[in-house]
Amino acid sequence: MWPYVLLIILSYLIGSIPSALIVGKLFYQTDIREHGSGNLGGTNTFRVLGKKAGFIVTLADILKGTLAVTLPIILGFPEINPLIVGVFAVIGHMYPIFANFRGGKAVATSGGLILGINPLVFLIVLLSFFVMLMISKYVSLSSMSAGVIGVLTTIILKEYELLIVASILTVFIFYRHRANIKRIINKTEPKVPWP
């Protein structure tokens, strides 16, 4: 029992590392929570601090999820299901203890979790994100649709354990984007120039 507790706590703490806050304060002397949407995620970082910072934050947030699912192997507990451990990194990303529980919207860290378990599913999800972004110009809609594509892909590939977790992650993503959904309906959601 204690290895599960240890790995879950470590995973949550890894997920809680506020990449956007660290990059903003260290290199731009900016608290990103006070600008844009106030969200500690890659999208707000792109908008507030620019492409370079946005890319670094997004990559760091992805790697949090990937690192979390490899913890059971790294720490010598291969019998522990990495998917269970990884979910807590996503929770940490959404509600980080190091940033007053105000975090990101679960997208990048969820992607990192999937990358660590099944890179093919990750690539399909990533491709679907960019295709939807080209079509709609909405990052939020692209994120939510990528979650749905992830669920459908795991069904097709018969990855049933990953299906359960991908479904949970997609619920997280939709919940964290509820304000965006309202703005999309009201046609007030900001678009991004893509490509």
Helix (H, G, I), strand (E, B) or coil at 80: coil
Q: At 39, which amino acid appears?
A: N
CA distance 184 to 80: 40
CA distance 170 to 114: 12
The predicted-structure confidence for 95-134, as pLDDT tens digits, reads as follows 999 999 999 999 999 999 999 999 999 999 999 999 999 9
Could you tell me the pTM of the whole model? 0.94
| Mean pLDDT score, 12-21 | 96
Q: Contact 64/41 with Cβ under 8 angstroms?
A: no
Check residues 36 and 128 and name the one with the higher pLDDT: 128
| Mean pLDDT score, 80-96 | 97
Residue for token pair 């354990």: 161
| Mean pLDDT score, 182-191 | 94
Q: What is the DSSP-derived secondary structure letter of residue 95?
A: S
What pLDDT is stored for residue 194 in this prediction?
A: 63
What pLDDT is stored for residue 195 in this prediction?
A: 62
What pLDDT is stored for residue 185 in this prediction?
A: 96
Asked if residue 36 has pLDDT above 90, the reply is no
Average pLDDT, the chain: 95
Output the CA torsion sign for 112, 113, 114, 116.
Answer: positive
CA distance 56 to 172: 23
Q: What is the DSSP-derived secondary structure letter of residue 79?
A: T
Percent of the chain with pLDDT over 90: 91
CB atoms within 10 A of CB 75: 14
Instruction: Please give the C-alpha separations between residue 159 and each of 67, 86, 164, 181, in angstroms, as whole numbers.
Output: 20, 16, 9, 29
Q: How many helices (H) and strands (E) does the chain have?
A: 10, 0
Position 6 confidence tier, pLDDT thresholds 50, 70, 90: very high
Position 39 confidence tier, pLDDT thresholds 50, 70, 90: confident
Asked if residue 17 has pLDDT above 80, the reply is yes
Q: Contact 121/154 with Cβ under 8 angstroms?
A: yes
52 token code pair: 């370079």
Q: Contact 106/90 with Cβ under 8 angstroms?
A: yes
